[in-house]
A and B are shown apart, each in its own frame.
Chain A
Amino acid sequence: MKLILSILYIVCTFLCKNVLSFALLLLSAVLLLLISRIPPRIVLRSLRALLFVMLFTAVLNLLFTKGETELFAFWRIHVYVEGVYSAVFMLVRIMVLILSTSLFLTYTTTPIALTDAIESLLSPLRVVHLPVHEFAMMMTIALRFIPTLMEETDKIMNAQKARGVDFSSGGLIKRAKALIPILIPLFISAFRRADELAMAMECRCYRGGKGRTKMRVSHLHASDFVALLMMVLFGAAVLYLNRLGLFYTL
């Protein structure tokens, strides 16, 4: 359910077209943040990681949007009012995107709940014989082994360093080549892990999704429907504000 909501929210983000709807978007993001009670520091940190991407797109929009009213020109660079607008919009859009996905999914949902959600959302596809359960299982295992494999990479890297492999000098190609002695042992050990894990899973009676139950069964509550309703209203409001066409429209 949360997954559907966040997808809807992302769609709304892209629907926004003028100042008013963007203002509404920003307001909603701030509200969501306040409701979720996530410390602002963590949120800011997640934004900072993508600061460069955000600034880059903003600058690109600023420089390459051609409009009618020129703000100022410097040498051969013309900056138009439209450019400023679209840059600001892009910035807000990316910011809200990051905020909302991290809010909805990473900060407030466990990976298990997420894979469960994907499994149940995709379950209609079972009719066309898509291995939905297997797909969800793969995601769970992938999530489980990310930290393990990262630790392993670290260990292999140290082992190779101890043998005199230099990872931190030379050009791009040389550095990429230096990664080969890490990747090969990593792959081999990952395959061995996969083999052992498969055996352990068999020992614990795993035989695919057939006849399997779940410890945690998630039900839809009334509040979920209220949230959906609010999201639909929000989308409608965005569309309506777009149609008003006040101020500047993209």
Chain B
Amino acid sequence: MTMNDIYIHAKNLVYAYREEDGLKMPVLHGISLDIKRGEYVAVLGHNGSGKSTFAKLLNMILEPESGELVVAGRDLCSPELTEDDLFALRREVGMVFQNPDNQLVATIVEEDVAFGPENLGVPPAEIRKRVDEALETVGMTAYARHEPHRLSGGQKQRIAIAGVLAMRPSCVILDEATAMLDPVGRREVIETVERLNREAGMTVITITHYMNEAARADRVVVIDDGRILMDGTPREVFSQPEKLMAAGLDVPQCTALVHALSEEGISLKGTPITTEECADLICRALEEKKNGNRNA
């Protein structure tokens, strides 16, 4: 792996919130992590584990206390980081937050999507083009002239994603962007970012506590109490349910089912992470059992 492939490089990253009385509340105790360009990473962790803090460090909403952090070739800990660098970074690393209502600025959908490029000083004709493209990508072209407050949660989040896309970023971070949505809205958002990852090769980092969402990523990073607890493919991570539960997390329902079965003495081979895989596995096991009984 060459240096160019690494999109985010963090080493011993430490962050502490400052309380009102001047005391420091440590949140991240040394995170070391490399994320490649084009990777689809899910960051898991229970409330207060520091997963959102980590996301906010990546585009300098928060400044790290100590450690190394290089994002998209910019050293975020260097003292010579200028304000212009900061804006260049935020253009490249787009962020979508939890509450869809609190991140839309304008009263009309397309104006809101235009907000980012307007801030960047893009010429009007180019903004128009970008807005249309971004809305097309998230499948919201038909709603360009609508008022955001009349849309559903999932639609609003797709508008927020379009607003990020219009800035032509190389990475999208979803900071619990699906937490306030219903299942339909959640699927809309997840499918949109997955398409961005697969078709446009965009680096996607999704901060979540939904296991089923994490199971769809290329890689799962589990953060617990400000440290990285686990890091691997969804299959590797979910095959250790005890460790996950110790961190206050669940495993996907199907994984939990297989795990419970094995505790009862029915062991199935492999760790399924999707419902289909799980169903296949169980069917196959039943089939084998039937054949075994017949032979005996």
Tell me the B94-143 residues at the A interface (CB within 8 Å): 94-95, 97, 99, 101-108, 110-111, 114-124, 127-128, 131
The SS class assigned to the A binding surface is helix
- CA distance in complex: A199, B97 (Å): 9
Indicate if the CB atoms of B121 and A204 lie closer than 8 Å. no
Which residues in A have their C-beta under 8 angstroms from that of B103? 196-197, 200
Which residues in B have their C-beta under 8 angstroms from that of A140? 105-107
Q: Given A196-B103, A203-B61, A204-B167 in contact, is the A215-B118 Cβ separation under 8 Å?
A: yes
Extra 19 A-B pairs, beta carbons < 8 Å, given A203-B95, A215-B111, A215-B117 = A111-B107, A112-B107, A143-B107, A144-B149, A147-B147, A196-B99, A199-B97, A200-B97, A200-B102, A204-B167, A205-B120, A207-B87, A207-B119, A213-B123, A213-B127, A215-B110, A215-B114, A215-B118, A216-B111
Say whether B42 faces chain A, with CB atoms less than 8 Å apart: no
Mark interface residues in A203-226 (1 if CB within 8 Å of B CB, else 0): 111110001111111000000000
Tell me the B136-193 residues at the A interface (CB within 8 Å): 147-149, 163-164, 167
Tally A residues with Cβ within 8 Å of B: 29
Q: Given A112-B108, A204-B115, A204-B116 in contact, is the A213-B95 Cβ separation under 8 Å?
A: no
Tell me the B38-87 residues at the A interface (CB within 8 Å): 59, 61, 83, 87
Say whether B36 faces chain A, with CB atoms less than 8 Å apart: no
Say whether A201 faces chain B, with CB atoms less than 8 Å apart: yes
- CA distance in complex: A201, B167 (Å): 13
Indicate if the CB atoms of B105 and A141 lie closer than 8 Å. yes
Which residues in A have their C-beta under 8 angstroms from that of B114? 215
Which residues in A have their C-beta under 8 angstroms from that of B87? 205, 207
Indicate if the CB atoms of B105 and A197 lie closer than 8 Å. yes
Which residue numbers of A lie inside 8 Å of B, CB to CB? Answer: 110-112, 140-141, 143-144, 147-148, 151, 193, 196-197, 199-207, 211-217
Indicate if the CB atoms of A148 and B101 lie closer than 8 Å. yes
Which residues in B have their C-beta under 8 angstroms from that of A197? 102-103, 105
Say whether B9 faces chain A, with CB atoms less than 8 Å apart: no
Say whether B90 faces chain A, with CB atoms less than 8 Å apart: yes
**What are 27 A-B residue pairs whose CB atoms fall within 8 Å in the complex?**
A140-B105, A141-B105, A144-B149, A147-B149, A151-B149, A197-B105, A200-B105, A201-B105, A201-B115, A202-B61, A203-B59, A203-B90, A203-B94, A204-B116, A204-B163, A205-B87, A205-B91, A205-B116, A207-B87, A207-B119, A212-B118, A212-B121, A214-B118, A214-B127, A215-B111, A215-B124, A215-B131
Which residues in B have their C-beta under 8 angstroms from that of A204? 90, 94, 105, 115-116, 119, 163-164, 167
Shortest A152–chain B CB gap in Å is 9
Shortest B33–chain A CB gap in Å is 21
